[in-house]
Each structure stands twice: as C-alpha cells, then as structure tokens.
C-alpha cells in the first residue's frame, strides 16, 4: 500500500465535526487576536512613521520640535521662497508652503473634546505635499471660512462631513472636502485657508515652511544655508526625519505593543497547537490500526499533518474573516483610534487590516497546524502498533 | 441452607438497538444464599454480564424485582443506588480496572473515600485489605509496576475494603495465567468461607466449577440449569 | 479535600497536555491582568490626582488660546473661591536625558499651597519656592525617573518659548504618580522680557472652591463673567478636565479590551478542550468509579474541580506574575509616556490580580462543566459493557 487517499483527511475532518469545529474555532480566535494586534501595530506605524515626503524640507524656528510650537515671520518666509534649489511649478511659482498650525478643541462624534490639528495653508500646499489628495468634495476657497478634513478626522469628529458646519475652537467652519494621504498623519488634520487660521490664532503669521527640493539639489548644502542665516533663527530638517523624530515620541507605545504582541501570539498559538495536539493524540488507536493494516509511518504522518494543516487553514480563513469584521466593527464603534502625540494633538489611527498582517497570520496558523499535528502524529506513528492499540 | 441474600423474581432486561429489541435476559428467577460462592456460566451474549449489572445496581431490569441484602433495588434512584453500592457491593473486573495514576494502597483506599473515616483510619483499613490479599509489601507500587495476578489481587482488596455484603466479579480470571487464576479463585472462596461474603462470579473458566458452591448456566438470556459446584459436593 | 490527591494525580496523568494548557491559561491571565492595568490607570489617576473642589478655567476654544492674566485676580474676587493659581505651559524638554518632556508649568508660587493642599507639599519647600526666583517643585515620579535630588540644578529648554532656563529644585510633590514640574511665573516673565516680550497671558487658572456644594454655582458664575469678552472661558471640574483629556485614549482602551476578550475566549476553548479530552480518555475509569459507588454529583464535582484546579493554579500564577511583567515592561518602556498618559502607570492592584484569578476560576468551571456533566450522566453499564 503506497499511500492513503487524499480523501482520508478530508473525510476525517467531516467525521469529527464537533472536535474539528472546536479546533477551527480556537485557531480562528488565535488568528483574530494576533492579527487585530498586528493591524494595530502596522496602522500605528503607517501613521506615525511613514509620514513626510523624501524630497521635502521643513523649516521651523530654531529650537522648536514641531510646527505646533514654532513661529516664523513673513520676512523669513519670503527669503525662503526664493532660495536656489527649490522645485517650481511650470509657471515658476516655487513649491514652498507657508503653514500656520494650531490645536483648538473639536468635538468627537462620541461627545468628547479633543485638541485637533488645524493647518492653515495656501493652495500651493497640495503641490508640496503631493501625497495629499482631496477625494470627496473639493478644495477650500481662500478666505471663505472653508476647510477640508482628513479621512481620520472625518471618521472621528462631530460634523466633519462634506457640506456640514463644524465648530472648532472659537468659530464655525464649512466642511467642503475630505482628503487622504495614504494613511499618514496628515489624515488626522484639518486644512483651511492660511489667513483665516492665522487670524483665528492671533499670533505670528506662520508656524513653519515646507518646501520641495528640485531634482539634483544638494539637500545638505541647502539645509546648512538655511540654518546659518543670521537674520532669522531657522532650522531646516528633511521632512522624513522630522516625522521620524515625531514618531520617536510614540516609540514607547510602539515598543509596548510589540512586547505585548509576542505573548498574545504565544498564548494563542500554544492553545491552538494544544487543541490540535489533543485532536491527533486522541486518535492514537486509529493510527495503530492503520499501522497494523500495513500503512507506513511516512504515509500516516503525511496524512495526519495534512489534516492538521487543512484544519489550520480553514481556521485561518474563518479567523481572517473575523479579523476584518472585528476591525470593521471597531472602526464603526470608535471612528479611528486616537493617540495623543507630544504636542497634545491627536493622531487618528485608522485601524486597517493590511495584506501583510494577514500574511503573517497565515504563516502563524500554518505553523500551528504543522507543530500541533506533527508532534503527536510522529509519536503515535512510532509506537508499535500493538502499543498504540492497547491505548484504547 | 442459609437465608437468601440475593433474590431475583421474573427479571427481564431488554435493550433497543436501532430498530431491534435485544432481550438480554428473560424471566430469570433465582436466589443466592448469604455467604455462598456462585458462578454464572454461559457463552458470550448469554446475559451473564447483564445479570451481574442488575445484581450490582449498575443497570435496572426492564421487568421483575431485584432484592439484594434486604433492599429492593428497583426502588432506588440513580444516586441512591451509587450510595447503596458503595456500602454493600464490592466489584472485581476482568481487566482489574485500577486507576493507573494511583498506587496500590490508594486504589484500595478509593471506596473508603465515600465513608466518613478519616485519613489515618482509611489507610489502616486499606493496608489490612492489602495484607489479606498478600500484597502489603507492594502498597506503594503503581498498577503498571504489578503483574496481572497482583493487579487482580489489588482489585480484590479494593472490593472488600469497605466490608460489603456481596462481592461481584466479572471474569476475574479471564486475563490471568493458570497459577494466578487459582490464587484469585482461592481468595474468592476464602472470602465466602471465612469472611461470610456472598460472592457472585461470571466466568468462562471451566476450573471455576471446582471452587464454587453452585453453578448457574445461562444461554440466550434464559436460566437453563443449576448444578452444585465441586466445593458443594465435597462438603 | 479528601479527593484532592485523586484530582492532582489525574492532572499529572498527561503532563505535556496539562503543562501546555496551564501555560496557555497562565499567559492569557497574565496578559488580561496587564491589559486591565491600563484602563485602571485612568481611574487611579483621576481618583488620586483630581479633587472635587478644584476646577480649571481655560479658554473655551482650546488650551491653545490664552487668557489675559488679569482674569486670575477677577476670579479670586468671586465669592466661594478660596484660591486661584494661573499657570502657563512651558513645554520644557530635558535634553540631558535625550529630549524628554513632562508637564512643566510656570505658576504663581504664593498660591500653590492654597490651591493644592491635597498634594501635601512640605511647607518649608513652599517657603523656599516663594523665596527663590529659580526654584522648582517637582513631582516624585519625575524626580525618581532622572534621579534628581532637592537642591540640584536642572536645565530645561522650552519648546514653546525661545528660552532655556536653569532651575534649582527646592521641593517635591510627594506623590509617586505625579510627573509635574512647577516653577515661578516671574522667572519665565524675566527670561522672555529679554526678547522684548511681556508675559501678560495665562493658559489655565486652577481654582479651589470652599465647598463642593458651591462648585457648580461658581463655575456658572465664572463663565458668565467672561462671556462676550475676547477670551470666553470654560470652567470644569478637575476630574472632568482630565477625563476629557484622557478621553482620546478610549479607542486604544477599547482595542485592548477587545484583544483581552479574544484571548480570554481562546483560553476558555483551550481549557474546555483539555477537559473534554481528559474525560473522554478516562471514560472507563470514570465508569468504574461510579460502579464502586461514586455518585453522579461526586464524579461531576471532581471532574469540574480538576479543570478548575488547573485553571486556578495556572491563572493564579499568571496573575501574580503580572507584578514582575509590569515591572519589566516599565523598565523597557521607561516610566511616563506622553502617548499613553496614565495608561502607562501599569499599576497592578490587588483588585486586578483578583479579577485575573476570578477569570481563571470561571474559565476552569465553565470549561469543566459540559464534559463533566456528560461523564456523570453516561449510563455506567453501557460504558462498562464496551469494556467487558
């Protein structure tokens, strides 16, 4: 006899429906627990770390960590606009965006109160931050009290809907659009007209300046030139570095989640493998019978491991569906998960389950199936048939 | 003949198996005297085990009455039967059925857990029972460390430790070599002779007839005949 | 108790399975306890730090908007107000420890004692705080984190104001959970004066009210007083102030709780599976026990006890290990985290450990019930017949 037919494991799964359902359930739960956690980690990472464009610089007042606490004058902005090495639009307009940032109160849909990041920009900002796209409604018009809100904001805050009037800080704004930036922290912001917002803040005209470098520009030389200008105490940083620095403040959180993900995975995996283990072990007699009938160890082993893996994969599919459902329900219930950054503004992290997260869960589930099936099957297959039969 | 300890009156037992009704026992009536040593013999499926189950209150008759030690077993609830068994019946099985994780002494102690005795008293009695079966020296051994004959002697000690009125044995020698089987049969006879226990045994073993007082023959659920055992004839 | 040895022996029967199940339960209970410390941190913070007679007055539109400093004296004049202290956010960064920040404020030193009597600051320290222009009073958490001592000098660079100031620590807030750093408003005013600015604003005014019964009335009166002024105010109790500040953490807490629930559910299935395995492979022994007189209730009880003992011992160990685990995480993550705020206190309370153990007991009971019930009610004769 060369091999057990493929239908043997499939029939076994059917024959032991209750036990199989339990095993699938445990694996599905393990998959959900770990992949919700993984999704949280990757979503967080995407928001906090992946923000910023590689050929952008951010210029702030020397000593400021972030544009929320920086102040820049009109003169400084004009000087920065006409530096060499900055990319321009076809009509010659330099890709330099002066921005005013402030964090007034906004009301969440749940009725809470949070500091929200309000960024005043000119239309040029969309060319400088080329990852930002208005996906619903339209861009705001200058000096009309209009704003566009990030995707995360739209989910989390009251009245952040196109066409609605949204009360932020001291006044009401008309929401005219929703923008996305591929999940980065801009999606936690509200953008409005620079002058409108500067008037509302009633302090220095600008917080900082973002600029896009022309291809081939010596970035380091330009940074040094800005930093050394004696008239204005300025400090230029590559935008990517700036966000990486901002994300560092979330490092604790990130580290914590990673520390926690490990035991979650181990606990869930242990349990699932144990269930699997038990399922195979309870069939020692059956394995003995098969051996007595003359099937080889390898054949039996292959068949049982295949069965375990099949069960794991079904568990994974159920678990993956469960994960998407849980993430969806969490999104509806929470409207994005908020994290206070260092500046007390809120970063809205949208919980998105990426293909990566599911891939990791797939590897996880398969490993559970392999280990949980292989160990006991190997043990049973190496018992002498008589011993295995006596275990009745 | 002494007064009857066990009385069966027109006892029948049938099972439903799918759509069929299997009559395991039909209209059996018998009495067994107190202190007697009785063998039930018959081929496979003759109803001997069913009869044993009825005597020990593990199973209930479909019809008829079962009286043991003055108690009508039909009247007892499931839980009352368990309590009654603990006090009045000692069971011995073909495959010993010792608890593998407990030592010989602890196995013997098991039935005493159902009594109000404290630990010291339980251990004293368990040790005494082991001495009776000649295994005092192996009290700390696990069943897996004992031979088949020794395991069955531990099982006998377990059956007698709570001082029951009746000892019921199902093929007690079925898994033993000839020497061990003789030991076990001798021991059962001693229980009946010296300790005045009523011993009822199901067996295939033809030699068993040499030891018992009475042999009942069953076949297809019917009590076919009763003949005195050799022990009775000798007496 | 007389059945305990039997129960323990049965658990020892399949050591690998018992071990795996135990580890899974222990680890899960450990995680659940750890997760529970996070939302519990908010409650502890609110109940320890927040007082019911202290309110905050700030700009209605957000903490980003400032109020005229003159408001502080106007507030003090309102009947029912015992004391008020106007504070300004400094955003100090401690560069020596790698640019870390903690809540640092310029305060009015002469009013600190009256507004925060519940902080139990040493009167001598308060006296020094008033006397020394560069004096600072620091929460014990921050003191311990950087190993600061009273009398020591520390420099903080402001991320708000274009200044770096050197302070002399003159006292501490004797509360291990306080990260605060307070210094004299006058010191900040002088420093920015060198840049040609005048410090004429205040961010938050903390107000202590004479009696809890007066709190609502005073809050209404204060907001009415500044209505239609350039800086309208919003007065709220300290508890509500911090609760809304921490409100944004709710989403995070919710995810944590969902994951916790999933882990608990997972472990329940695992325990149930182990219990049903244990019962199934011992069907014959259980039938024998019942045959020799063990009643249904007793069989049911010992089987449920078996899974409960396993879950309780494993879960209890996990729950107690939470102390060590949180200590380890704290060490790895490093004290106060701005993102997590009070969630990062990781304060393991006996209540949390108790909840963990309770979870373990419930898991054991629930997991054991179904298989134990089945075993206790299966007809003895039919099981034994399969054996004879």
pLDDT at A179: 94
The Cα of C127 is separated from the nearest Cα of chain A by a number of Å equal to: 33
Per-residue pLDDT for A335 more than 70? no
Q: Give tens-digit pLDDT for A33-72.
A: 888 888 888 887 777 666 788 899 999 888 777 777 788 8
Contacts of B102 in chain C (CB under 8 A): 6, 9
Q: Is residue B76 within 8 angstroms of chain C, CB to CB?
A: no
Question: What are residue A48's phi and psi, to 5 degrees?
Answer: -90, -30
Residue A253 to residue C21, Cβ atoms within 8 A: no
Out of C3, C6, C380, closest to residue B58 by CB: C380
* End-to-end CA, chain B: 13
Confidence of residue A9 (pLDDT cuts 50, 70, 90): low
State the Cα–Cα distance between residues A38 and B205, nearest whole angstrom: 68
Do A and B touch (≥3 CB pairs < 8 Å)? no
Q: Is residue C387 within 8 angstroms of chain A, CB to CB?
A: no
- Of chain C residues 260-289, which have a CB less than 8 A from chain B? 284-285, 288-289
| Sign of the alpha-carbon torsion through C243, C248, C251, C253 | negative
Out of C293, C297, C298, closest to residue B85 by CB: C293
State the Cα–Cα distance between residues A81 and A222, nearest whole angstrom: 12
Q: DSSP states of A260-274 as a string? A: HHHHHHHHHHHHHHH
State the Cα–Cα distance between residues C315 and C25, nearest whole angstrom: 6
**What is the overall mean pLDDT for chain B?**
88
Residue A271 to residue C31, Cβ atoms within 8 A: no
Cα–Cα distances in angstroms (integers) from residue C215 to residues B204, C60, C76, C209, in the given order: 94, 18, 14, 6
Cβ neighbours of B139 (radius 10 Å): 19
The Cα of B186 is separated from the nearest Cα of chain C by a number of Å equal to: 22
Residue C24 to residue A36, Cβ atoms within 8 A: no
State the Cα–Cα distance between residues B128 and B163, nearest whole angstrom: 12
* β-pair type (A189-193, A117-121): parallel
State the Cα–Cα distance between residues A154 and A148, nearest whole angstrom: 10
pLDDT at C382: 73
pLDDT at A83: 87
Identify whether the C-beta of residue B177 lies closer than 8 Å to the C-beta of residue B122.
no
- Angle B148-160/B119-132 helices, nearest 10 degrees? 130
pLDDT at C153: 95
User: How many B-C residue pairs are in contact by the CB < 8 A criterion?
Assistant: 80
Identify whether the C-beta of residue C305 lies closer than 8 Å to the C-beta of residue C372.
no
* Residues in a beta bridge with B226: B216
Q: What is the 3-state secondary structure (H, E, C) of A58-93?
A: EEEECCCCCCCCCCECHHHHHHHHCCCCECECCCCC
Exposure string over C218-232, b if 16+ CB within 10 A, otherwise e: bbebbbebbeeeebe
* End-to-end CA, chain A: 25
Which region among A194-198, B81-85, B89-93, C279-283 has the lowest average model confidence (pLDDT)? C279-283
Cα C359 to chain centroid, rounded: 20
Q: Is residue B99 within 8 angstroms of chain C, CB to CB?
A: yes
Identify whether the C-beta of residue B99 lies closer than 8 Å to the C-beta of residue B107.
yes
pLDDT at C387: 43
Contacts of A25 in chain C (CB under 8 A): 269
Q: Which value, in Å, is the radius of gyration of the alpha carbons in chain B?
A: 17
Residue with the larger pLDDT of the pair B93 and C134: C134
- Alpha helix ranges (H) inside C51-134: 70-76, 109-115, 123-131
Residue with the larger pLDDT of the pair A260 and B93: B93
Where chain C has pLDDT below 50, the residues are 387-388
Contacts of B170 in chain C (CB under 8 A): 388
Residue with the larger pLDDT of the pair A291 and B42: B42
Among B42, B37, B64, CA closest to B168: B37
Confidence of residue A284 (pLDDT cuts 50, 70, 90): confident
Match 């399922």 to its residue by tokens: A279
Q: Give tens-digit pLDDT for B116-155.
A: 899 999 999 999 999 989 999 999 999 999 998 899 999 9
State the Cα–Cα distance between residues B132 and A27, nearest whole angstrom: 54
Identify whether the C-beta of residue C279 lies closer than 8 Å to the C-beta of residue C334.
no
Identify whether the C-beta of residue A23 lies closer than 8 Å to the C-beta of residue A315.
yes
State the Cα–Cα distance between residues B145 and C301, nearest whole angstrom: 30
Residue C6 to residue B94, Cβ atoms within 8 A: no
Going by the DSSP 8-state scheme, the letter that residue A45 receives in this structure is H
Instruction: Tell which phi-psi region holds residue B93, choosing left (phi > 0), alpha (psi between -120 and 50) or beta.
Output: beta
Going by the DSSP 8-state scheme, the letter that residue B207 receives in this structure is G
| Chain B residue with minimum CA distance to C12 | B101
Q: Which value, in Å, is the radius of gyration of the alpha carbons in chain C?
A: 30
Which token pair is C2? 């007389």
pLDDT at C330: 74
Residue C258 to residue A36, Cβ atoms within 8 A: yes
Residue with the larger pLDDT of the pair C240 and B11: B11
pLDDT at A75: 87
* β-pair type (C164-173, C135-139): parallel
Residue C388 to residue B170, Cβ atoms within 8 A: yes
Contacts of C288 in chain B (CB under 8 A): 91, 93, 97, 99
Q: Is residue C13 within 8 angstroms of chain B, CB to CB?
A: yes
Cα–Cα distances in angstroms (integers) from residue A45 to residues A32, A246, A346, A352, in the given order: 20, 12, 15, 11
pLDDT at A22: 79
- Of chain B residues 190-219, which have a CB less than 8 A from chain C? none
Confidence of residue A342 (pLDDT cuts 50, 70, 90): very low
State the Cα–Cα distance between residues A307 and A283, nearest whole angstrom: 13
Among A191, A185, A192, A177, CA closest to A336: A185
Which token pair is A51? 């923000």
| Chain B residue with minimum CA distance to C296 | B79
pLDDT at A385: 67
Burial class (CB in 10 A: 0-12, 13-18, 19+), A179: buried
Out of C2, C296, C384, closest to residue B113 by CB: C2
Confidence of residue A346 (pLDDT cuts 50, 70, 90): low
Contacts of C159 in chain A (CB under 8 A): 63-66, 69
Residue C270 to residue A340, Cβ atoms within 8 A: no
Identify whether the C-beta of residue A325 lies closer than 8 Å to the C-beta of residue C258.
no
Q: Is residue B220 within 8 angstroms of chain C, CB to CB?
A: no
| Chain C residue with minimum CA distance to A256 | C333
Per-residue pLDDT for B163 more than 60? yes
Residue C159 to residue A114, Cβ atoms within 8 A: no
Confidence of residue A330 (pLDDT cuts 50, 70, 90): confident
Do A and C touch (≥3 CB pairs < 8 Å)? yes
Identify whether the C-beta of residue A275 lies closer than 8 Å to the C-beta of residue A378.
no
Q: Give tens-digit pLDDT for A297-311.
A: 888 888 888 888 888
pLDDT at A232: 83
Cβ neighbours of B179 (radius 10 Å): 9
pLDDT at A371: 83
pLDDT at C216: 92
Residue B114 to residue C290, Cβ atoms within 8 A: no
Mutate to test the interface with C, among A252, A335, A336 (most CBs of C within 10 A): A252
Do C and B touch (≥3 CB pairs < 8 Å)? yes
Cα–Cα distances in angstroms (integers) from residue A186 to residues A335, A349, C340, in the given order: 16, 11, 21
Q: What size, in residues, is chain A?
A: 392
- Alpha helix ranges (H) inside chain C: 4-11, 15-49, 70-76, 109-115, 123-131, 140-146, 185-193, 215-225, 238-247, 250-281, 283-291, 296-333, 350-377, 380-387
pLDDT at C185: 96
Residue B99 to residue C285, Cβ atoms within 8 A: yes
Per-residue pLDDT for B52 more than 60? yes
């Amino acid at each position: 006899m060369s091999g057990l037919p493929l239908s043997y494991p499939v029939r076994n799964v059917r024959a032991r429906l209750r036990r199989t359902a339990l095993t699938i359930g445990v694996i599905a739960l393990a998959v959900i627990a770990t992949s919700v956690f993984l999704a949280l980690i990757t979503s967080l990472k995407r928001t906090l770390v992946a923000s910023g464009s590689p050929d952008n610089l951010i210029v702030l007042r020397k000593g400021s960590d972030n544009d929320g606490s920086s102040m820049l004058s009109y003169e400084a902005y004009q000087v920065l606009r006409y530096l060499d090495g900055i990319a321009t639009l076809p009509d010659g307009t330099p890709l330099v965006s002066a921005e005013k940032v402030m964090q007034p109160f906004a009301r969440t849909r749940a009725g809470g109160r949070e500091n929200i990041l309000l960024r005043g920009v000119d239309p040029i900002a969309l060319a400088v931050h080329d990852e930002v796209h208005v996906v619903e409604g339209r861009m705001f018009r200058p000096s009309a009290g209009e704003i566009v809100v990030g995707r995360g904001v739209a989910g989390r805050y009251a009245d952040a809907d196109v066409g609605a009037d949204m009360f932020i800080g001291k006044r009401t704004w008309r929401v005219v659009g929703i923008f996305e930036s591929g999940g980065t922290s801009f999606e936690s912001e509200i953008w409005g007209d620079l002058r409108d917002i500067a008037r509302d803040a009633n302090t220095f005209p600008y917080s900082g300046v973002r600029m896009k470098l022309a291809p081939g520009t010596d970035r380091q030389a330009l940074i040094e030139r800005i930093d050394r200008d004696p008239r204005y105490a300025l400090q230029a940083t590559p935008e990517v570095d700036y966000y990486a620095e901002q994300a560092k403040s979330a490092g604790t959180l990130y580290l914590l989640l990673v520390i926690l993900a490990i035991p979650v995975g181990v606990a869930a995996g242990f349990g699932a493998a144990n269930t699997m283990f038990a399922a195979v072990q309870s069939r020692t007699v059956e394995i003995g019978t098969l051996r007595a009938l003359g099937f080889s160890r390898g054949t039996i082993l292959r068949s049982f491991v295949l069965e375990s893996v099949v069960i794991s994969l079904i568990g994974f599919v159920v678990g993956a569906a469960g994960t998407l459902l849980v993430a969806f329900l969490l999104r509806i219930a929470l409207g994005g998960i908020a994290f206070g950054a260092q500046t007390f503004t809120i970063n809205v992290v949208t919980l998105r389950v990426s293909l990566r997260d599911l891939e990791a869960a797939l590897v996880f589930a398969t490993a559970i199936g392999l280990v949980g099936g292989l160990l006991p099957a190997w043990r049973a297959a190496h018992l002498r048939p008589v011993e295995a039969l006596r275990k009745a | 003949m002494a007064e009857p300890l066990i009385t069966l009156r027109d006892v029948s037992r049938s099972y439903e198996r799918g759509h069929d009704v299997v009559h395991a026992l039909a209209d059996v009536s018998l009495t067994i005297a107190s202190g007697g040593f009785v063998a039930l013999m018959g081929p496979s499926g003759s109803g001997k085990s069913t009869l044993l189950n009825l005597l020990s209150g593990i199973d209930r008759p479909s019809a008829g009455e079962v009286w043991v030690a003055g108690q009508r077993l039909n009247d007892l609830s499931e839980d009352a039967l368990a309590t009654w068994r603990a006090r009045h019946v000692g069971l011995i099985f073909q495959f010993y059925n010792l608890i593998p994780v407990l030592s010989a002494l602890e196995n013997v102690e098991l039935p005493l857990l159902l009594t109000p005795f404290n630990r010291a008293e339980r251990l004293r009695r368990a040790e005494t029972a082991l001495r009776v079966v000649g295994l005092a020296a192996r009290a700390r051994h696990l069943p897996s460390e004992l031979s088949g004959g020794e395991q069955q002697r531990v099982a006998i000690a377990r059956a007698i430790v709570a001082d029951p009125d009746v000892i019921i044995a199902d093929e007690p020698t079925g898994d033993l070599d000839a020497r061990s089987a003789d030991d076990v049969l001798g021991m059962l006879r001693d229980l009946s002779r010296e300790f005045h226990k009523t011993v009822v045994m199901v067996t295939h073993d033809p030699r068993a007839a040499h030891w018992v007082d009475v042999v009942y023959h069953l076949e297809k659920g019917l009590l076919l005949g009763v003949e005195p055992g050799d022990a009775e004839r000798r007496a | 108790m007389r059945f305990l040895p039997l129960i323990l022996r049965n658990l020892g029967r399949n050591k690998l399975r018992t071990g795996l199940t135990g580890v899974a339960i222990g680890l899960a209970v450990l995680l659940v306890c750890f997760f529970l410390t996070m939302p519990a941190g908010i409650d502890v913070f609110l109940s320890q730090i927040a007082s019911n007679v202290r309110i905050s007055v700030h700009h209605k539109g957000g903490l980003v908007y400032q109020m005229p400093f003159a408001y502080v004296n106007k507030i003090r004049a309102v009947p029912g107000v015992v004391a008020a202290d106007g504070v300004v956010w400094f955003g100090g960064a401690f560069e020596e420890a790698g640019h870390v920040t903690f809540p640092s404020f310029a305060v009015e030193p002469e009013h600190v004692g009256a507004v925060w009597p519940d902080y139990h600051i040493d009167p001598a320290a308060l006296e020094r705080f008033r006397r020394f222009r560069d004096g600072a009073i620091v929460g014990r958490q921050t003191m311990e984190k950087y190993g600061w001592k009273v009398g020591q000098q520390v420099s903080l660079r402001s991320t708000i104001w274009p200044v770096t100031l050197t302070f002399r620590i003159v006292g501490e807030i004797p509360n291990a959970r306080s990260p605060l750093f307070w210094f004299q408003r006058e010191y900040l005013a002088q420093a920015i004066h060198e840049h040609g600015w005048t410090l004429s604003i205040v961010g938050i005014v903390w107000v202590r009210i004479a009696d809890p019964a007066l709190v609502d009335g005073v809050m209404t009166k204060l907001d009415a007083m500044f209505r239609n002024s350039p800086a309208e105010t919003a007065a709220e109790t300290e508890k509500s102030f911090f609760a809304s500040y921490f409100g944004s953490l709710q989403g995070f807490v919710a995810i944590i709780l969902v994951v916790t629930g999933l882990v608990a559910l997972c472990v329940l299935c695992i325990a149930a599976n182990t219990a049903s395995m244990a019962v199934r492979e011992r069907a014959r022994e259980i039938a024998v026990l019942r045959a020799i007189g063990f009643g249904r209730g007793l069989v049911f009880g010992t089987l449920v006890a078996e899974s409960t003992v396993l879950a309780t011992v494993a879960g209890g160990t996990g729950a107690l290990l939470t102390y060590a685990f949180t200590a380890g995480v704290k060490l790895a993550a490093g004290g106060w985290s701005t993102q997590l705020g009070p969630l990062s206190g990781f304060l393991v309370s006996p209540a949390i450990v108790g909840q963990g153990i309770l979870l373990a007991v419930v898991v054991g009971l629930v997991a054991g019930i179904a298989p134990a019930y089945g075993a206790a009610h299966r007809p003895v004769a039919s099981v034994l017949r399969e054996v004879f």
